[in-house]
Amino acid sequence: ARKVFVKDDSLAQLILVGNIGDSNIELAATCNIAKSVWERMLSVYEQSSDQRFHHLMEQFFRSEYELEDGIASHVEKLQRHFSELIDELSPNQLYHQKN
């Protein structure tokens, strides 16, 4: 029964991690079972818009250059984070920030 669980759980983790995108891969990095990955994803994606926006801001400003990734990869990561931030902003928020 344990072997079946481990096999099924590994498959579930693979499916979840394969579908969350590179920018959120750190969500799954500390999880050891699929249920943990799922709960982490829910906690991030079911946040209120303001909570999600603040999470994305934190993610953007905490991005650090890693030598093994190279400059192009780091810039791509920053662009992805910035794009997610812009996507999260409502037109109303953009209007108030401009004025």
Residues whose CB is less than 8 angstroms from the CB of residue 56 and which lie 6 or more positions away in sequence, other chains included: 81, 84, 85, 88
Which letter does DSSP use for residue 45 in this model?
H
Between the alpha carbon of residue 12 and those of residues 29, 35, 37, 80, 81, the distances in Å are 15, 9, 9, 26, 26
- Label residue 24 by pLDDT band (50, 70, 90): confident
Task: Please give the radius of gyration of the chain, using alpha carbons only, rounded to the nearest integer.
Answer: 17
pLDDT band at 43 (very low <50, low <70, confident <90, very high): confident
pLDDT at 67: 84
Provide the 8-state DSSP code for 10. H
What pLDDT score was predicted for residue 11?
93
Tell me the average pLDDT across 31-48.
Answer: 82
Mean pLDDT calculated for residue range 30-43: 87
Tens-digit pLDDT profile for residues 65-94: 888 888 999 999 899 888 888 887 765 555
pTM, entire model: 0.46
| Domain coordinates in residue numbering, the chain | 1-93
- Show Cβ contacts of residue 75 under 8 Å, excluding neighbours closer than 6 positions: none
Please say whether the beta carbons of 41 and 20 come within 8 A. yes
